[in-house]
Amino acid sequence: MNLTILVDNNTLIDSYYLGEPAVSYWIELDGTTYLFDSGYSDVFIKNAEKMGLDLTSLKAVILSHGHDDHTRGLVHIVSYYEHKKKQLPTLIAHPDAFLPKREGKLDIGCPISLSLIKQKFILKTTREPLWLTKNLVFLGEVERGNDYESQKAIGEAELGGKWKPDYVYDDSALVYCGEKGLVIITGCSHAGICNIISYAQKVCKENRINSVIGGFHLLHTEKRQMEKTKGYFERIKAESVYAAHCTDLAAKIELSKVANLKELGVGMRLCYK
């Protein structure tokens, strides 16, 4: 499996691409291409074209969750495919990813309505793990087994005509089962990065962790959660950890004390067997 960073908060020196506080990853596996999240704008398209990647070759677009820094690019995917006169790919997500979401007065949900998505895409929603290939799985709804992650709501979601605290149960991840163990690919980890890793091990029946890549949602993290998270990463002994997007500097410094933390930025290409 090859993974290319199309969008992240960070760009790297001598890789002259655009960045934004969002996520979009290009994944190649067994001759098939997937897009994991679509960022906040059309930046992923501009970067992909500069990298020479053919966005019309996508088999599926996979959403980590429904927040707009991961879904707003869907508007541009629709325009791009229609301009190219191509059939839009399959869209895979948790069913709650398309609920209206807000934080205060700010709309933070997917910018395209569910009815329009159903018109434009072949939509597959699932709460259960969905195997895309024999080695690549979308986790669906992640089990939340610990008492230090995902304890606070992120704004509100509208369900059944009522606004309720949103614990982002639509937050999911992709997992590649490789020769050296699991490669876990996250968007924001609202479900909790440790919960996600534990659930990936359960679903894939594999305890070895090769790599963890993506946003860990460690921002202004409370001391207890940070200490518990550090202890968890120390125990799993991942070969590499790429904390990106919604992981602040303080959390990266703490994780670097117990894990093989590596830098991530737009244009990086990671390869796994």
Count of domains forming the chain: 1
pLDDT tens, N- to C-terminus, the chain (273 residues): 999 999 999 999 888 999 999 999 999 999 999 999 999 999 999 999 999 999 999 999 999 999 999 999 999 999 999 999 999 999 999 999 999 999 999 999 999 999 999 999 999 999 999 999 999 999 999 999 999 999 999 999 999 899 999 999 999 999 999 999 999 999 999 999 999 999 999 999 999 999 999 999 999 999 999 999 999 999 999 999 999 999 999 999 999 999 999 999 999 999 999
DSSP the chain: -EEEEEE-S-B-TT------SS-EEEEEETTEEEEE---SSSHHHHHHHHHT--GGGEEEEE-S-S-HHHHTTHHHHHHHHHHHT----EEEE-GGGGS-EEETTEE-S-SS-HHHHHHHSEEEE-SS-EESSSSEEE--SPP---SSSS-S--SEEEETTEEEE---TT--EEEEEETTEEEEEESS-TT-HHHHHHHHHHHHT---EEEEEEE--BSS--HHHHHHHHHHHHHH--SEEEEESSB-HHHHHHHHTTS-B----BT-EEE--
User: Which CATH number characterizes residue 179's domain?
Assistant: 3.60.15.10
Q: Which domain holds residue 44?
A: 2-145+152-271
* pTM score: 0.96
